[in-house]
Amino acid sequence: MAASAADDIAELAITSLPLDTRFLPFHLRQYGGFWLLEEFLMAVPAVHSVFKPRPSDVLLASFPKCGTSWLKALAFATCKRAEHPPHDLNHSLRRGNPHDVVRYLEMAFAQSTDNNGAGDVFAVLSSPRVLATHLPYSLLP
């Protein structure tokens, strides 16, 4: 019950922020000088309280719809070349989408809070971890 009350308070706080609806079907809210998707804002508290960054992390920060999929594929192929050489027929990028191998920080925590706080879903990944975000640097832990 307490988690749903906290979620209600967070949602109320987010809905009080300035709104822009020109990026349909999404609603953007202004927070910290940035226009962000509401669903990303809901994940910021979980990212700050649960995620533990490592010095070796590779964080891809980009605006939505600006070539992030391509950037994810290039970064993953470069960082994980020893584990997944280009000629590997079972390469992760041959079997799936770049979004499957490089997950979004805020989306993973938004989903884990829906599942009663599953914890840091990235903790099990080996270093260097390749992660992506649409959050500005100032909103990251």
CA angle 68, 105, 128 (to 5 degrees): 85
Give catalytic status of residue 134 as yes or no: yes
Q: Catalytic one among 84, 91, 99, 134?
A: 134
Nearest to 77 by CA among 61, 88, 66: 88
Strand 28-31 relative to strand 58-61: parallel, antiparallel, unpaired?
unpaired
User: Encoding tokens for residue 88?
Assistant: 């590997």
What residues are annotated to the active site? 134
